[in-house]
Amino acid sequence: MSFQALLKIFVPALLGIASLIGPEALAQLAYEGMQMGERYKIYIYAKESLGAGKWRFQTKAVYASGAKPFYSEWRTVDCFESTIDGKTVPAVARYGFERGEPEVLKAVCGYR
């Protein structure tokens, strides 16, 4: 069997498998939560190293109800200072607005 014939067989099969996996399987799960009865999962959708323990990252929120996913703006984390966009992230979230931030910091910095 020639190389061209193998490509004709394997390329469509690999593309089919990749389409079944979906982006959520490729992204790293960081946090699962519930807000006002709505379950959601936060994924680290993309991240880029800025060097010296700093990362630029983007998250994706996927809702159990099937609502349209939410993609965050690009944010910056400093793993040595435990900050996201210059604001200190607590080890345990104390308030609702901090929900998921410690887990996202750990996921981006690779502490899991």
- Encode pLDDT of 70-85 as tens digits: 999 999 999 999 999 9
A 10 A CB-CB count for 77 gives 23
Task: Say if pTM beats, i.e. exceeds, 0.95.
Answer: no
Per-residue confidence band for 57, with pLDDT thresholds at 50, 70 and 90 = very high
C-alpha 34: how far from chain center: 17
